Structure 1
Amino acid sequence: MATEPPLRRGNLLPARVLVTAWSLLVLIAVLAWVLTVGQARHMGVEPGTMGMGVPLFLLLWLAMMAAMMLPSVAPVAITWARGIGRRSTGVTRAARMASFVAGYLLVWTTFGLLAYAALAATGDLVHDHPDAGRWIGFTAFLLAGLQQLGPLKNVCLRHCRSPLSQLMRYAGFRHWARDFRVGAHHGLYCVGCCWGLMIVFIPLGVMNIAAMAGVAAVIFAEKLWRLGPVFSTAVGIVFLALAGLAPFHDWLLPGLTPPGAPMPMH
């Protein structure tokens, strides 16, 4: 059964409110991009965590997630606000949407702890054994490709593209912190959908702005484009092809090349 993007006609909220909500989320995403790009210019692309401790890494990871994820999660957040709009003032509705986004980003920040551990482990391994980077890259691309083509991806992507039935179930949550919990639940689905896309930052580099932009575009297309599921499958096939090339082409692995090591020509 075909899925459809979550935001459709027949809005319960006035157009002015929807435009304001979209504008606010886009503004936050733009500011997050500015922060991330500015920091990346000073750090470059290196293996591992680049000397960052957990607090600083999580702060930058949060900015990355806001930059990459908010454009695609905005329709879901606004859809949730539409459902509660009849019983909410404009101020209350904005606070509830902020709570939804906070819960969503908290889940991705928690996932950042796993990303930090993976980057720290692979960074230490590459510094001790530079040739291991090729096989780490192979493994990362392979896992990403298999995840894109696997059943968990399909289940979670289906939810992200058509969340209305799940949002109706969330309406039964008790009122306390309900919007925060809804955002966190949706964030868990999003992690299940996109964790494979995140592990490609191990070979490509966690502060690789080009890679960030590419992954953000993939996420946006998967969730909102009419042909998103087909596109998701194509991306998985590309990752599998990159897995086959990674052991033989170091230029595919800027995030696994130690500082000072010669980088082969493209």
Structure 2
Amino acid sequence: MTAPQGITPGAGMGAGAARLTPARLAILLGGPTVLALASWIYLGMMIGDMSIIPGMKAMMMPGMMFTPAPLAGLFLMWAVMMAAMMLPTAAPMIMAYARMQALDRARGAGWQPVWMFSGGYVVAWASFSLIAALLQAGLTHLALMSPMTMKAGSGPLAGTILIAAGLYQFTPLKQACLSLCRTPLHFLMTEWRDGNLGALTMGWRHGLFCIGCCWALMALLFVTGVMNTAWILAITLYVLMEKTVPGGKAFSRLAGLALTATGLWVLVG
């Protein structure tokens, strides 16, 4: 796994940047941008009228959560939400990947690998969405979540989720995954694979690292409400800041302290 032939960490990035004309940049971002915008639009429609979620009526009936329609609806809801939230935060990595590939494009290669990279990233989060949907179905089946508000119905469960999310911010796994998300060049130089399949694999692997970084933050939606617009936007903005602002690791630990303290307050309150 090496960087493209003829591209070095310094020269390659510079050469790639020089070839990213406005027209090529539009082509580069076209696929991911359209997918992200479509996801936000459909997510907004679901938030505005949850009856359009497949199987929503069946979710209100006891014992129906693990039937095909509600499970399909929950998976669709989570998959759309994760695409809307996480694709914008992956923009720095997608741009870095395009720059690394610039010399190949100069020799006649197309833009398909950039789209494949983005697709692999979305597929990884879709896999996470399946797990989240199954977990939500299980908690709702056990009457630990409300099918109407889609959030934890008990203080102990909410407090436990908050504390778990807060403590996870301090774990080596969280910090290692965050470091890879914050340093696109390091990820690309160590994980590079050629061709469309290689791009898909790289996007998938970056998505896995991103899940390792953010899964606990997504669990907060079980506390605040899975379709809570304010918290969806807040978590999206926080993840973007955690990945990009200077001092992101310290920022992450401060958030961990706040989440843990809030969880303890919920438990004893």
Match of 1:184 in 2: 204
Paired amino acid for 1:186: H
Give the TM-score of the pair, scaled to structure 2. Answer: 0.78
Deviation at 1:159, TM superposition (A): 0.2
**How many residues get paired?**
238
What do residues 89-135 of structure 1 show as CA deviations (whole Å, max 9, x unaligned)? 69954321111111111111111121112212222333699x97111
- Indicate the residue corresponding to 1:62 in structure 2: 79
Matched letter for residue 36 of structure 2: A
Alpha-carbon separation, structure 2, partners of 1:36 and 1:91 = 38
Matched position secondary structure for 1:36 = helix
How do 1:15-94 and structure 2 match up within 5 A?
15-16=21-22, 17-22=24-29, 25-43=32-50, 53-88=70-105, 93-94=110-111
Q: Distance in 1 between matches of 2:243 and 2:130?
A: 25
Query: Within the alignment, does 1:156 sit opposite 2:177 as a pair?
Result: yes
Alignment of 1:119-198 (within 5 A): 119-126=136-143, 133-171=154-192, 173=193, 175=195, 177-198=197-218
Letter of the 1:111 counterpart:
F
Name the CA distance, whole Å, in 2 between partners of 1:90 and 1:33. Answer: 36
Moved more, 115-124 or 208-217: 115-124
Task: Tell me the distance in 1 between the aligned counterparts of 2:198 and 2:208.
Answer: 15
Corresponding residue for residue 98 of structure 1: 115
Contact between 2:31 and 2:115, CA under 8 Å: does it hold in 1? Answer: no
Deviations 1:209-246 (A, max 9, x none): 11111110110000011132222111111111220122
Which residue number in structure 1 is paired with residue 124 of structure 2?
A: 107
TM-score, normalised via structure 1 length: 0.79
Q: Does 1:13 align with 2:19?
A: yes
Q: 1:23 to 1:234 in 2, by over 3 A?
A: farther
Q: Give the letter aligned to residue 13 of structure 1.
A: R
User: Shift in Å at residue 12 of structure 1?
Assistant: 4.6
Gaps of 5+ in 2: 1-12, 147-151
Contact 1:125 1:132 in 2 (8 A): no
Distance 1:228 1:27, change over 3 A: farther
The CA deviation at 1:24 is 5.1
Q: Which has the higher contact order (CA 8 A, sep 6+)?
A: 1
Q: Conserved in 1, the CA contact under 8 Å of 2:113 and 2:195?
A: no
Tell me the percent identity. 28
The Cα RMSD (Å) is 2.9
| Residue aligning to 1:203 | 223
The aligned counterpart of 1:264 is none
Alignment-mate amino acid for residue 116 of structure 2 = S
CA drift at 1:153: 1.0
The alpha carbon displacement at 1:41 in A equals 1.5
